[in-house]
Amino acid sequence: TTTTAIDENIETTNGKTVHFMEDVLAGLNRSPKHLESKYFYDQLGDRLFQQIMAMPEYYLTRCEMDIFENKTAEIAQGIRSADTPFDLIELGAGDASKSVHLLQYLQEQGTDFRYMPIDISGNILSELKQKLIRDLPDLNVECLEGEYFDMLYKASQLSSRRKVILFLGSNIGNMELEDAYRFCFELRKNLNKGDVVMIGFDLKKEPNTILNAYNDPKGVTASFNLNLLERINRELDADFVVDQFEHYETYDPLSGACRSYLISLKEQQATVGNQVFHFSENEPVYMEVSQKFSLEDSRKMASQSGFEPHKSIMDSRGWFLDAFWTA
């Protein structure tokens, strides 16, 4: 091929290469410029996201926590834990602060299952492993570091037991809608009849409540976005002048898309790899979508991707939905 030979890819601890440089260059060559939010989560990004989850404005975590703490038995019912032994695979597990409640409950019920957290952050996975060894010493755990489908494939190779997939926290909202549809379709193709998925959807609600969750006054979300520029500087030896970019958040109540941008505060340039990128004054770099859904939206997504929705659990305010679909 004729591809250039800048190979500043990240070698993760399990040997899986993440194409950070390639993806950053591709995104900055697009119009409008775009950086992928999956790269927010380096060590500092993990910390900042934990700070976001602790903010009063960021209701999502507490809503889903309400479900995991107070409706644990219903969740267990939704994944039909009484049936057969299964692998409980969590996509983007992070610190698993919500799912531990389910893990503990399943253990108390004497359920035969193995917990397989998947995350792109090896850093957060090793912390999770430590925590689980300490708090749930009898739990059977297998951590998988990498991208969702690579690791799902690996999980299938490790065992042929029934699968229960957790995709929580409205992580699905980080995909453009068409990508989310494609993702669910792909997920269905990778599962067998009778496997179950539990997906967290942040629901459409009063628009300012949503906007405030992503536009906090202390600027934690701004730092979370700007950290990606810092990360590119650190890991790809780039030279973004980070304080010359400003975080800007929007929520469109029609489409349900909450989107973040970094706005270039002046005309400037940045060098990444061997490429120079020009930013005009007020030029937006599109960073992240956090899509919001109605119950109908989620049901449509299930049926269009070949799943059968069989259960819905909401938090007490009806702000967040955990949907259960059967393959």
Residue 174 binds to ligand AVJ (criterion: CB under 6 A): yes
Toward ligand AVJ, which CB reaches closer, 8 or 23?
23
Helices 122-135/43-54 angle, 10° precision: 60
Q: Which is nearer to ligand AVJ, 163 or 259 (CB)?
A: 259
Contact between 214 and ligand AVJ per CB under 6 A: yes
Phi/psi region, residue 92 (left: phi>0; alpha: psi -120 to 50; beta: rest), is left
- Is 121 one of the binding residues for ligand AVJ (CB under 6 A)? no
Alpha-carbon distances, residue 240 vs 8, 234, 262, 278 (angstroms): 17, 10, 12, 11
Q: Is 81 in the site for ligand AVJ (CB under 6 A)?
A: no
Question: What are φ and ψ of residue 131, in 5° steps?
Answer: -60, -40
Is 169 one of the binding residues for ligand AVJ (CB under 6 A)?
Answer: yes
Do the beta carbons of residue 143 and residue 128 sit within 8 Å?
yes
Please choose, out of 113-121, 130-138, 152-160, 166-174, the segment that lies near ligand AVJ by the rule CB under 6 A: 166-174
The window from 142-150, 164-172, 275-283, 297-305 that contacts ligand AVJ (CB under 6 A) reads 164-172
Q: Quick one: which of 170, 223, 264, 305 contacts ligand AVJ (CB under 6 A)? A: 170
Give the helix, strand, coil percentages of the chain, each rounded to 5: 40, 25, 35
Q: Using the rule CB under 6 A, which residue among 81, 212, 215, 221 binds ligand AVJ?
A: 221
Q: How many residues bind ligand AVJ (CB under 6 A)?
A: 12
The CA-based angle 116-122-127, given to 5 degrees, is 75
Q: How far is the CB of 7 from ligand AVJ (least distance, A)?
A: 29
Name, in order, each residue with C-beta under 8 angstroms of 307's C-beta and a sequence gap of 6 or more.
184, 188, 197, 325, 326, 327
- Which residues are at the interface with ligand AVJ (CB under 6 A)? 52, 60, 169-171, 173-174, 214, 221, 224, 288, 290
